[in-house]
Amino acid sequence: TATTTTATRAMALPRALATQTRLASTTKLFINGEFRESTTDKWLPVRNPATNEIVSEVPCATPEELNEAAESAAATFKTWRNSSVITRQNVMFKLQGLLRDNMSELAKLITLEQGKTLADAEGDVLRGIQVVEHACGIPSLLMGETVGNVAKDMDTYSYRMPLGVTAGICPFNFPAMIPLWMFPVSLACGNTMLLKPSERDPGAAMLIAKLAQEAGVPDGALNMVHGSVDTVNFLCDNEHIKAISFVGSDNAGMHIWNRGSGNGKRVQSNMGAKNHGVILPDANKTATLNALVGAAFGAAGQRCMALSTVVLVGEAASWSEDLIELARGLKVSAGDQPGTDVGPMISREAMQRAYDLVESGVQQGAKLLLDGRNIKVDGYPDGNWMGPTILSHVTTDMDCYKEEIFGPVLVCLEVDTIDEAIELVNKNRWGNGTAVFTNCGAAARKFTFEIEAGQVGVNVPIPVPLPMFSFTGNKASFVGDLNFYGKAGVQFYTQLKTITSLWRNSDADVLKAATVMPTMK
Ligand code: NAD
């Protein structure tokens, strides 16, 4: 049941530290424009995944603090909704510049708390900045529709109106990009927001909140609240909150969807994935193998658009030896060490889970071509290390195929034809992304039309659309009707209001009350 799932997930979260052991470095709440220490007695450790040292502690905000944040967002909405669209556009322009100026500081925070390499962390920030850049176009994005003369002297037009207070709930794997998928679009549309960064790596989101304040976001328009399940449940229940954006795992996403929409809120929920790369034998071999290795093992496989599964069609099955060589050549170390390709995994538990799923694959008959478990990394004896790992001869009934591993593990399946490959990918319950590698236009076209996944790459391994489009994962990877960013993002954070107006100089035409339904002739 949902309750059991929630309870199980709650237990998997890091245990709260005792109150007496408060570190100098604590993550602050940001409420009504003020960065302040929580009064809670429940704190969670934020660890550097390369060393497991605690770098900060994050509070589980108290119900009073959460209420205060919601009240301040509701109060600010009354003025922010009436700010001119040009004011909001200018705030986005300033935020864009500040984010670019602070790119390397943000990247350092991401690497410290999340583990990915500095270059990859800059990519995390950049993909978020691109959403802010799109939000700079808000005056055009908010344009409604008009029809003049729907009846004599009568006109109909629509506005995209803001919703009110919105909420954002973020995962650990993109500590800058995903908060930036949410609040810039919401605020540009005239809403206010309570944002909950991942409790594992809130540092980048907190610096972004400071930059948003500097950019001119008014007090109370953006509030940062922390915690885990209780904070999330507050966001699903609070009466001021009209819409919730969630990105993260299936269990949390379905819980939030059920609870939030049960309370009458809009919910968009981006969840888990198992993205398949389909390799046809006519593909450019070197480019394809490099693309696969980068997309499978980059960020230690902890991307929702990682290519974690490869389907080798026909003779492409013989490419696995070269795949192993390329994967073996990747350097595993701390994300701030020069030359690192693969950083640590987020936690001991996540690492052990990935180890266990690899073991289950071996037990269930897969071939372990490359084993990255239990590796030693010079200078970092306590990191959550897992090197690139490849399993071949995987079948769809194995746990390593059925589960999202979310680690540097590539599972390989072998089929004879493109039709079999398409059928296999379409049988998978998730539909976040997929990619085909080929030199045949007709095969690529067939693939893009017949495949069910919502984001398709043709010789492009991680086809995350730029924000003029939307992030369109589907099937079990998404619930909701309106996707993140792009036109759909603006639609998610607004509701249409349609006005029909009649302007006449005299009342000569209206001599009697009309009791029939207006037909607007
Ligand atoms: P997670 O679900 O553990 O955490 C995400 C957020 O949900 C956090 O803020 C956390 O506090 C909260 N949460 C966790 N368990 C909860 C529960 N039981 N009830 C209520 N709230 C809960 O996810 P994660 O481990 O941080 O992120 C990894 C997952 O996110 C992967 O499954 C990955 O595929 C997915 N993801 C998806 C996308 C996408 O766009 N589809 C993007 C990034 C990550």
User: Which burial class, exposed, middle or buried, applies to 435 when counting CB atoms under 10 A from its CB (0-12, 13-18, 19+)?
Assistant: buried
DSSP 493: T
Atom of ligand 1 nearest to the CA of 174: 43
The runs of H, that is alpha helices, within 364-454 are 399-402, 418-427, 441-450
Contact 245, 491 (CB under 8 A): no
SS3 content of the chain, % helix, strand, coil (to 5): 40, 20, 40
Residue 155's SS3 state is strand
Q: How far is the CA of 476 from the centre of ligand 1 (A)?
A: 14
Q: Provide the pLDDT for residue 329.
A: 97
Find how far residue 294's CA is from the centre of its chain: 20
Q: Give the span between the Cα atoms of 196 and 200, in whole angstroms.
A: 11
pLDDT, position 2: 38
65 neighbors 39 (Cβ within 8 angstroms): yes
pLDDT at residue 17, as a whole number: 47
270/254 Cα distance (integer angstroms): 10
Ligand 1 first shell, C-beta below 6 A: 6, 9-10, 169-174, 196, 198-199, 228-229, 232, 247-249, 251-252, 255, 270-273, 304, 404, 406, 432, 471, 473, 477
**Max alpha carbon distance in the chain (Å)?**
91
The pick from 66, 234, 249, 255 for probing ligand 1's pocket by mutation, whose C-beta has the most ligand atoms within 8 angstroms, reads 249
pLDDT value for 505: 86
**pLDDT at position 520:** 74
Which pLDDT belongs to residue 59?
A: 98
Q: How far apart are CA 346 and CA 356, in angstroms?
A: 16
Task: Please return the burial class of 352, using the count of CB atoms within 10 Å of its CB with bins 0-12, 13-18 and 19+.
Answer: middle
Can you give the pLDDT at residue 24? 65
Q: Per residue of the chain (521 residues), give pLDDT as tens.
A: 333 333 333 333 344 444 445 566 999 999 999 999 999 999 999 999 999 999 999 999 999 999 999 999 999 999 999 999 999 999 999 999 999 999 999 999 999 999 999 999 999 999 999 999 999 999 999 999 999 999 999 999 999 999 999 999 999 999 999 999 999 999 999 999 999 999 999 999 999 999 999 999 999 999 999 999 999 999 999 999 999 999 999 999 999 999 999 999 999 999 999 999 999 999 999 999 999 999 999 999 999 999 999 999 999 999 999 999 999 999 999 999 999 999 999 999 999 999 999 999 999 999 999 999 999 999 999 999 999 999 999 999 999 999 999 999 999 999 999 999 999 999 999 999 999 999 999 999 999 999 999 999 999 999 999 999 999 999 999 999 999 999 999 999 999 999 999 999 887 666 778 888 887 77
pLDDT of residue 4: 35
ipTM rounded to 2 decimals: 0.99
Q: Does residue 219 contact residue 236 with C-beta atoms inside 8 Å?
A: no
SS3 (DSSP) at 437? strand
Q: What pTM does this model have? A: 0.95
Query: Which of 11, 58, 173, 402 gets mutated to test ligand 1 (max ligand atoms within 8 A of its CB)?
Result: 173
Query: What pLDDT score was predicted for residue 23?
Result: 61
Question: Token pair of 384, please?
Answer: 């959550």
Q: How much distance in Å is there from the Cα of 237 to the middle of ligand 1?
A: 19
